[in-house]
Amino acid sequence: MKKFLFIFCFLFVFALSSKAQDNVSLPAQYQKMMEKILGNLPKVATSKANSLLDFAKSMIGVPYRYASSNPNRGFDCSGFVSYVFGNFGFKVPRSSPEFASTGVPVKLSEAKVGDVLIFTGTSHKSKRIGHVGIIYSIDDEGNIKFIHSTSGKANGVTITDFDNYYKGRFVKAVSIM
């Protein structure tokens, strides 16, 4: 009798589990919705990028200081970017012009959170690289915000819109991670 009861229970559980597997597939409308969501994943930050940006964000307000990569004294732009990436084991240049030959170049339209933006300096006459920042966010319309250390109005680490001023100075984007 125990043997019969055991076999009956085993078959009953097996039948229920196979029935549950039939209900796993999603209706077509939900499958399309999930494909659309998953198709947007390249613009979503990876967990490593999130950690890197959380660390960078913790330094908002650290003052600008020319030729410094020390959070206790302040940062220049490349000092900030190299300090942030260095804390995650990435070897990146210390000066902004050297970022042009670092990492993997990416089209701005394909750039993702955590990539580095490279700009000319503030002189309108010069096309020489003179500023860098890290992409902080990209919204659904493709609007970019980046975190950097600036000698401008914020005078330190801040998050800035990639507006027409910076678009006019933009040189390229590179992926370090």
Catalytically annotated residues: 77, 131, 148
Contacts of residue 48, defined as CB under 8 A and 6 or more positions apart, other chains included, come to 88, 114, 177
Asked if residues 157 and 175 have their Cβ atoms less than 8 Å apart, the reply is: no
User: What does the angle CA 140 – CA 50 – CA 58 come to, to the nearest 5 degrees?
Assistant: 110
Sign (positive or negative) of CA dihedral 53, 55, 164, 95: negative
Give the residue among 105, 118, 96 at the shortest CA–CA distance from 176: 105
DSSP helix/strand/coil, 100: helix
Give the number of other Cβ atoms within 10 Å of residue 54's Cβ: 9
- Residue whose token pair is 């933006």: 117
Residue ranges of alpha helices (H) inside the chain are 2-22, 28-39, 47-57, 77-86, 164-169
DSSP helix/strand/coil, 148: strand
